[in-house]
């Protein structure tokens, strides 16, 4: 009688060669952890030695379980309805879980991840903990042709519970495989044998050392579960992870691992929490979490979408549920599947939830920042996922697996089919009862059987029908969608138009402000004032030489009139008017306030004194020259001149207002006329169509349909024109021509400007918040990358102190390194918990010590730019008690800025370090700080330096305040820039 024989290669064929890839293999091991009632499954991937560790805190395996279940391929123990072994143990204190494994070959996925594995498992049964079971398997042996499966020995070692094997225990199991390899020498060629021996020699694993290094599920003390130590692991793991980071918008490796449990459509705690930590170095804590909870679509983000669908497909493929459009009331909706023909489907019933956002931000109800954030996430991980009993079925949800033809249809017509794979997040929930939906052996999707084809056809028909009914012109329930979308588009167009208008005015206003400050900095007004005064004096000299008194007096009056006209023109050239109805950015508002202050200075110091001087020349000086000036005539000329000027201003603005009113009136009249004409033309056309229609042969239903159609056309047209005219009427109604109780005429333009000011401020804050959010994400990465590295640096700097204590030459070097590191260490403490500080206590800081530090730091740069740094005796003598890490960086920032702004000067480049009354003075001979910027330079984000971030002075002032000091601009110095560091109490 003949019998089947099983070669060892069968394990490799059913395992490594069947699994689609490494992410699928990891997912299979996560499913095994789920079946073992684990709460957590954690992967640690150590790049330095290629060690891959997967640990769970499930119920573990007994020796009998391992030998009779884990080492047995195709066990029927998980199929409860059939005869065979008893089902696996399920803890009585946890809800029963549906078993994910079906064929018992998912465990063989380990071979895809790496060639060798150490398995540690400790069972917990009814509250009682077993001993630890340790097993070592070399998968290379299962690739060798000609070896039967029972030729391969699997070493097993039992250790006392609560302990872990040491290196000797692991080596003893590896030696068993070496001996097994020797017995099979005749069946293995030398090259294969050499490769296996090399891998065995490289398998150096110490579980106890790893658990003390990396937190996670443990088998020590009262721990239980199953742990896999795989070495060497597949080298493509690191390549795939790095490739994901390079293509962050469309990850491949992590996309398979994300969403293992459905966290989109439910707030329930996942049955199994999965993690994957990528360790780039062997430094404790230096890892990156690849599949953290924020990486996948959250329930809150799912609920924020524009549109939602929720419902169930029954056993006939008919959908019954709700559709929510733009957050309005859910609409009950039914979608039929005509191919059922009264027969139950093979795929069975299932539920469906979907969230979708609009393709254009202007058509979305989400705030811009939320739309951008969610849209970016959906671009990476959006899609329709399939879950069986709450656990993801691969590869559904991945962008490259378009099983519902969403992207295929979108290429035909995006507006017609509506849906976009990268704008949606959905979950199809099936259960173990949908048993005809059978996964392929390699876990790359369902088998293409009749049940699967029905499943896809039902969903494709459903998505097509929903888009037709709700999201397409003419859809039976598309009115809400079209109406809201048009309102959003209209609102967006209005905002863009207003923004264009406002932007044009803001740009002009900004240009005018820049011109004003350029003229004031060049002192152009002084030369013009001098010319005005000189002309008056010239007129006075000429008047003295005129013999006729009346002619001399008239010359002076005309000269005064001309001088006042020139002075008024000068005033006008320096006068700016804030644009009405336009909000100002923070920068423009700051410049406007600086303008008001500077103009007031010009008025008080130049314009008024000049007007007074002109008057005195004509009055007192003329009297001294014995030229009689008729004061009444003089005043009459001045009054007439001022009156004409004032009237012309008002008259000009009145003419502009009349023209605007006339244009508006004409536009409104044309709009009213066109509306009446169009509605009348429609009525005429309907009458013509009606006269051409024979209704004698129509039944009652057809006549009603005709009546409804005519009414609908008329009502729709009337509503459209009525809406337009009402909008115009409301705009005319809000024109306010009356003054309030204080006499202010507050127009709609003023109110719009106030609203726009508030909006601009909110937008700037939102942009800053978004930057801070991105910065927070970056800080999170920095935390992983640098925490332990900084600990190492801290330790080495401490060790350097011991050398510096006995070596005088090292002391300055140590002091500078320590101070710079302490500054960095202080900022790192803002986002990572530090166990201790290298050096954090107040010490005496002298100006002499600061000057020496700055000289050493900037010596080469000062020479390169030919800048002299002068240190006064007062600066060297001043001593304060504080933290070097607080003060030194402030001086560094100030000197750095001074050198930057003086680098292009040809001569006179000096930095003076001085001290007055307990305050440090840092003065340079650079271009100085413009008046408009003196309040702004300490604001976060403000900078005139090309490429500057605007953080240096903001941070300097902030950290000094924490130690009761302040950084200010010393205004008593006229040339260059002068900063003062002084106690707050001063």
Least confident of 18-22, 249-253, 403-407, 436-440: 18-22
* Angstrom distance (rounded) from CA 810 to CA 813: 5
Question: How confident is residue 633, by pLDDT bands cut at 50, 70 and 90?
Answer: low
CA proximity to 599, closest of 632, 576, 623, 616: 576
Residue scoring higher pLDDT (473 or 15): 473
Q: Which residue has the tokens 């005519």?
A: 710
pLDDT at residue 737 in the model: 54
Instruction: Kindly state the tokens that stand for 816.
Output: 């500078």
Mean pLDDT (whole number) for 461-467: 95
* Predicted local confidence at residue 305, as pLDDT: 95
pLDDT at 331 over 90: yes
DSSP string, 842-898: -EEEEHHHHHHHHHHHHHHHHHHTT-EEEE-HHHHH-EEEE-HHHHHHHHHHHHHHH
Alpha-carbon span 302 to 858, nearest angstrom: 54
272-280 mean pLDDT: 92
Give residue 788's pLDDT.
46
Task: Write out pLDDT tens, residues 853-882.
Answer: 898 888 888 998 999 999 999 999 999 988
User: CB–CB of 521/933 below 8 Å?
Assistant: no
End-to-end alpha-carbon separation of the chain, Å?
Answer: 107
SS3 355: strand
| Residue indicated by tokens 């891959």 | 52
Alpha-carbon span 287 to 281, nearest angstrom: 8
> Mean of the pLDDT values across residues 683-692?
80
Percent of the chain at pLDDT > 70 equals 81
Higher pLDDT, residue 687 or 50: 50
pLDDT tens-place string over residues 353-367:
999 999 999 999 998
User: Which range (82-91, 561-570, 619-628, 842-851) has the least confidence?
Assistant: 619-628
Strand partners, 356: 307, 424
Which residues have CB under 8 Å from 820's CB, separation 6+?
Answer: 888
Mean pLDDT score across all residues of the chain: 82
Please report which residue ranges of 184-272 form alpha helices under DSSP H: 190-202, 207-213, 236-246, 253-257
Q: Is the pLDDT of residue 775 over 90?
A: no
When mean pLDDT is compared over 84-88, 663-667, 789-793, the highest value belongs to 663-667
Angle (deg, nearest 10), helices 631-691 and 549-573: 40
Strands 128-138 and 287-289: unpaired
Report whether pLDDT(681) > 90: no
pLDDT level of residue 883 (50, 70, 90 thresholds): confident
H/E element, 171: helix 167-183
**Bridge partner list, 854:** none
pLDDT band at 9 (very low <50, low <70, confident <90, very high): low
Tens of pLDDT, residue by residue over 157-187, are 999 999 999 999 999 999 999 999 989 888 8
DSSP bridge pairs for 428: 352, 386
Q: What does the DSSP 8-state code read for residue 692?
A: T
Q: Is the model's pLDDT at 445 over the cut of 60?
A: yes
Contacts of 252 (CB under 8 A, 6+ apart): 240, 243, 244
Kindly report the backbone phi and psi dihedral angles of residue 174, in degrees, each rounded to the nearest multiple of 5, phi listed first: -65, -35
Q: What is the pLDDT of residues 901-919, one digit of tens each?
A: 988 888 889 999 999 989 9
Determine the pLDDT at residue 679.
82
Instruction: Inform me whether the pLDDT recorded for 41 exceeds 80.
Output: yes
- Residue 83 — very low, low, confident or very high, per pLDDT cuts 50/70/90? very low
**Residue 251, pLDDT score:** 84
Please tell me the distance from the alpha carbon of residue 702 to that of residue 698, in angstroms, as a whole number: 6
Average pLDDT over residues 691-709: 74
Q: Which helix (H) or strand (E) holds 767?
A: helix 748-806
**Residue 164: per-residue pLDDT:** 95
Residues 813-852 have pLDDT tens digits of 777 777 766 656 655 544 433 233 334 567 888 999 899 8
Strands (E), 91-160: 116-125, 128-138, 156-159
3-class SS of residue 133: strand
3-state percent breakdown (helix, strand, coil) of the chain, nearest 5:
55, 15, 35
Structure confidence by residue, pLDDT tens digits, 521-556: 888 888 898 888 888 888 777 877 776 666 766 777
pLDDT in tens, 386-440: 999 999 999 998 888 899 999 899 888 888 889 998 999 999 999 999 999 998 8
- Asked whether residue 106 carries a pLDDT value surpassing 70, the answer given is no
Residues 6+ apart with CB under 8 A from 230: 51, 52, 53, 54, 110, 113, 114, 116, 117
Assign 754 a pLDDT band (cuts: 50, 70, 90).
low
In contact, 240 and 254? CB cutoff 8 Å? no
Q: Is 672 exposed, middle or buried (0-12, 13-18, 19+ CB in 10 A)?
A: middle
């Amino acid at each position: 009688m003949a019998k089947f024989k099983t070669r060892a290669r069968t394990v490799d064929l059913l395992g490594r060669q069947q699994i689609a890839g490494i992410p699928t293999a990891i997912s299979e091991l996560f499913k095994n952890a789920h079946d073992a009632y684990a709460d957590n499954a954690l992967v640690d991937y150590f790049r330095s030695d290629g060690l891959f560790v997967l640990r769970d805190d499930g119920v573990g395996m007994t020796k009998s379980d391992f030998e009779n279940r884990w080492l047995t391929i195709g066990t029927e123990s998980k199929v409860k309805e059939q005869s065979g072994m008893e089902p696996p143990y399920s803890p009585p204190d946890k809800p029963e879980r549906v078993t994910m494994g079906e064929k018992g070959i998912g465990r063989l996925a380990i071979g895809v991840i790496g060639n060798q594995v150490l398995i540690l498992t400790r069972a917990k049964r009814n509250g009682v903990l077993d001993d630890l079971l340790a097993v070592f398997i070399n998968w290379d042996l299962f690739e060798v042709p000609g070896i039967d499966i029972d030729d391969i020995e699997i070493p097993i070692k039992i250790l006392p519970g609560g302990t872990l094997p040491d290196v000797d225990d692991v080596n003893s199991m590896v030696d068993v495989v070496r001996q097994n390899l020797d017995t099979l020498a005749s069946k293995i060629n030398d090259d294969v044998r050499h490769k296996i021996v090399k891998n065995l020699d490289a398998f150096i694993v110490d579980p106890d050392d790893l658990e003390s290094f990396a937190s996670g599920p443990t088998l020590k003390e009262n721990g239980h579960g199953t742990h896999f130590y795989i070495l060497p692991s597949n080298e493509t793991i690191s390549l795939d992870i790095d490739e994901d980071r390079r293509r962050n918008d469309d990850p491949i490796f992590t996309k398979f691992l994300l969403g293992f449990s459905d966290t989109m459509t439910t707030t329930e705690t996942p049955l199994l929490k999965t993690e994957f930590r990528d360790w780039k170095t062997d430094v404790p804590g230096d890892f990156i979490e690849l599949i953290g909870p924020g990486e996948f679509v959250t329930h809150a983000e799912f609920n924020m979408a524009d549109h939602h669908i929720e419902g169930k497909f029954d056993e006939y493929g008919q959908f019954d549920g709700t559709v929510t459009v733009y957050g309005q009331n859910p609409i009950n909706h039914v979608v039929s599947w005509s191919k059922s023909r009264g027969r139950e489907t093979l795929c069975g019933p299932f539920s469906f939830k979907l969230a979708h956002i609009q393709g254009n931000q202007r058509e979305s109800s989400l705030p811009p920042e939320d739309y951008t954030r969610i849209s970016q996430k959906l671009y990476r991980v959006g899609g329709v996922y399939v879950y069986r009993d709450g656990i993801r079925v691969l590869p559904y949800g991945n962008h490259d697996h378009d099983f519902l033809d969403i992207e295929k249809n979108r290429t035909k017509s995006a507006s017609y089919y509506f849906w976009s794979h990268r704008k949606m997040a959905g979950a199809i929930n099936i259960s173990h009862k949908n048993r005809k939906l059978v996964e392929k052996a390699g876990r790359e999707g369902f088998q293409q059987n009749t049940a699967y084809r029905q499943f896809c056809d039902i969903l494709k028909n459903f998505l097509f029908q929903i888009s037709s009914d709700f999201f397409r012109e003419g859809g039976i329930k598309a009115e809400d969608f079209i109406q809201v979308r048009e309102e959003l588009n209209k609102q967006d167009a209005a905002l863009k138009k207003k923004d264009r208008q406002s932007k044009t005015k803001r740009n002009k206003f900004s240009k005018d402000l820049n011109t004003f400050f350029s003229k004031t900095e060049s002192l152009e007004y002084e030369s013009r004032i001098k010319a005005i005064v000189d002309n008056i004096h010239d007129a006075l000299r000429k008047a003295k030489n005129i013999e006729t008194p009346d002619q001399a007096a008239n010359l002076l009056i005309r000269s005064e009139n001309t001088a006042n006209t020139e002075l008024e023109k000068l005033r006008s050239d320096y006068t700016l008017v804030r644009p009405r109805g336009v909000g100002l950015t923070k920068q423009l508002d700051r410049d406007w306030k600086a303008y008001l202050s500077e103009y007031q200075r010009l008025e008080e110091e130049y314009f008024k004194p000049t007007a007074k001087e002109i008057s005195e020349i004509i009055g007192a000086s003329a009297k001294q020259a014995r030229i009689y000036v008729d004061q009444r005539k003089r005043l009459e000329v001045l009054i007439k001149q001022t009156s004409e000027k004032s009237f012309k201003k008002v008259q000009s603005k009145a003419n502009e207002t009349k023209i605007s009113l006339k244009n508006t009136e004409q536009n409104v009249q044309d709009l009213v006329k066109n509306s009446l004409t169009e509605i009348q033309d429609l009525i005429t056309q309907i009458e013509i169509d009606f006269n051409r229609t024979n209704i004698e042969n129509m039944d009652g239903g057809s006549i009603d349909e005709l009546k409804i159609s005519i009414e609908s056309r008329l009502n729709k047209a009337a509503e459209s024109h009525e809406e337009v005219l009402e909008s115009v009427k409301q705009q005319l109604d809000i024109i306010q021509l009356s003054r309030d109780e204080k006499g202010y005429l507050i127009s709609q333009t003023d109110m719009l400007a106030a609203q726009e000011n508030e909006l601009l401020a909110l937008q700037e804050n939102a942009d800053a918040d978004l930057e801070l959010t991105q910065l927070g994400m970056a800080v999170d990465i920095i935390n992983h990358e640098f925490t332990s590295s900084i600990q190492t640096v801290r330790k080495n700097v401490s060790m350097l102190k011991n050398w510096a204590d006995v070596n005088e030459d090292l002391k300055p070097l140590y002091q500078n390194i320590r101070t710079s590191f302490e500054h960095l260490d202080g900022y790192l403490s803002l986002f990572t918990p530090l166990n201790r500080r290298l050096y954090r206590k107040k010490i005496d800081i002298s100006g002499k010590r600061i000057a020496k530090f700055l000289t050493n730091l900037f010596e080469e740069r000062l020479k390169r730019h030919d800048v002299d740094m002068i240190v006064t005796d007062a600066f060297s003598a001043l001593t304060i008690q504080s933290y070097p890490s607080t003060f030194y960086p402030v001086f560094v920032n100030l000197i750095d800025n001074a050198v930057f702004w003086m680098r292009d000067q040809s001569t006179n480049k000096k930095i003076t370090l001085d001290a007055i009354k307990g305050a440090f003075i840092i003065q340079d001979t650079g271009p100085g700080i413009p008046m408009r910027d003196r309040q702004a330079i300490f604001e976060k984000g403000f900078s005139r330096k090309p490429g500057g971030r605007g953080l240096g002075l903001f941070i300097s002032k902030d950290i000094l305040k924490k130690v009761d000091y302040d950084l200010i601009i010393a205004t008593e110095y006229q040339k260059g820039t002068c900063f003062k560091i002084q106690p707050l109490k001063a």
